Amino acid sequence: MAGPDGIFEIFEERAAASASVAQVHRAKLKSSDGDGVWVAVKIQKPDVGKQVDWDLGTFGIVMWLYENILFDMPVYFVVDFISDHLRRELDFELEAKNAMQTAKLVANEPRLADRVYIPKVYPEYSTKKVMTAEWIDGVRLSDRRGIMHLMGEEDTDLDLSPTTSRTPPAPPFPSPLKGGVASIMYTMVELFSAQIFSWGWVHCDPHPGNIIIRPHPARPKYPQLVLIDHGLYVRLSDDFRRQYATLWKALLTVDVNVIKSTASEWGIGTPDLFASATLLRPMSFSSQDYPEAAKFAADLEKMDQYEKGVMMKQRLKNFLTDTDKMPKELLFIGRNMRIVQGNNQTFGSPVNRIRITGYWASRSLAREPQPSLPARIREYVDYFIFLTMTFAIDIAFYFTKFKAWVRTKLGLQSEGFEDVLERSMREFAKANFGLEIGDNAFLG
């Protein structure tokens, strides 16, 4: 790659953004006609590789202490898997390839191709420590105030202190866009659900700073979601992807036998806790389906505080019975889903995340090649049964929205659907493990 003077007509020395690993500069590529393209140049910070090695070394020591001294729980087995993936974030050539792979997958999915955009990467101007990609103007999802203004919606949670302006700053393009915040959240949940259940190619850092909303270039009155920062991905095997989709379908249709068999196959000893952790909402089984949980609850009622603490710790230890069986990809999938949940929660839970995610799980199974016509027909029948049974989730979602609307009109504090789920998970954690979890712990 040539030196910067031979590539860029303009290079802004002041960083447009900066993080722990790299900083981003805005620049303009040279062009023979003088109409060069504006790009984002991501430059890795000096000695960051050494710092990452120190950080990951410390992480390994902490996990060893947790397992062998502090809590006697199996956690060290994740260290190598997590460390290997985090180190890949330092290879910007790999990040460029990840971005191009994601762009192809998005382009081939009709439900997302027009609503999602991956910035063009310039491999010829990229190295392992420098990446050049298309510059995107828009509003980051982390800017709640800017997003609400862009979509023409009132930010009822905005803190209007004496030092806060009541007029949001104007974005660099006309607003409002059509569809509301709900359209953005719907696209976001669909995108990451498609990655997990259809593509087996999962962006593991979907925090709101990595999502930009802009007017659609071809339809300026509609929003388009732009996904950036493609350094951290995990690839899912086809077998695991089908298993995970089957699990999600079973969770929403309460197929206890499938949930229990999947948990057992993955070395997990408490299927009820596993189901709750996967859905990010409390899930309980009947005493007939899972008598162990009923016995635990009954025994807990008879114990003093010390005995309860011992019992809860043992139950937590029983969660993972065989670390060799557990798919380590679950760690990054869980992170992805928690952050997606937090993004939806930040904007008042405008969409039913669980319903959308479940739809993509069932849809992916219905589209899997079947060995025979009867098997394919059976899969489609199961798919329509799934859609019918998830109607109850929609009822709960819209009831929560209606209740929140009424409370807002009365000037009372209201909760979105994700807020209700978070509160339920805090209560669930306290009842099952004696853990006090703070507010917004599930925002990712």
3-state secondary structure of 61: helix
Structure tokens at 129: 């420590």
Asked whether the beta carbons of 38 and 28 are under 8 A apart, the reply is yes
Q: Is the pTM of this model over 0.85?
A: yes
Query: Which of the pair, 419 or 82, is modelled with greater confidence?
Result: 82
Task: Provide the mean pLDDT of the chain.
Answer: 85
Query: Which of the pair, 253 or 44, is modelled with greater confidence?
Result: 44
Name the helix (H) or strand (E) containing 9: strand 8-11
Strand runs (DSSP E) across 74-173, as ranges?
A: 116-117, 130-134, 139-140
CA end-to-end span of the chain:
38
Query: Which of the pair, 111 or 311, is modelled with greater confidence?
Result: 111
176: Cβ contacts below 8 Å, ≥ 6 apart: 149, 150, 151, 152, 153
Span 256-293, pLDDT tens digits: 899 999 999 999 988 888 888 888 787 777 767 777 76
Phi, psi for 430 (deg, rounded to 5): -70, -40
Asked whether the beta carbons of 268 and 274 are under 8 A apart, the reply is yes
Give the residue among 443, 441, 444 at the shortest CA–CA distance from 426: 441
Span 120-139, pLDDT tens digits: 999 999 999 999 999 999 99
Distance between CA atoms of residues 249 and 382, nearest Å: 10
Q: What is the DSSP letter of 322?
A: -
Give the residue among 182, 178, 180 at the shortest CA–CA distance from 220: 178
Distance between CA atoms of residues 202 and 189, nearest Å: 13
Q: How far is CA 378 from the centre of its chain?
A: 31
Span 142-196, pLDDT tens digits: 999 999 989 888 766 544 333 334 444 445 566 688 899 999 999 999 999 999 9
DSSP-assigned letters across all residues of 426-439: HHHHHHHH-----T
Strand runs (DSSP E) across 193-277, as ranges?
A: 201-203, 211-215, 223-227, 233-235
**C-alpha torsion 89→189→75→47, nearest 10:** 20
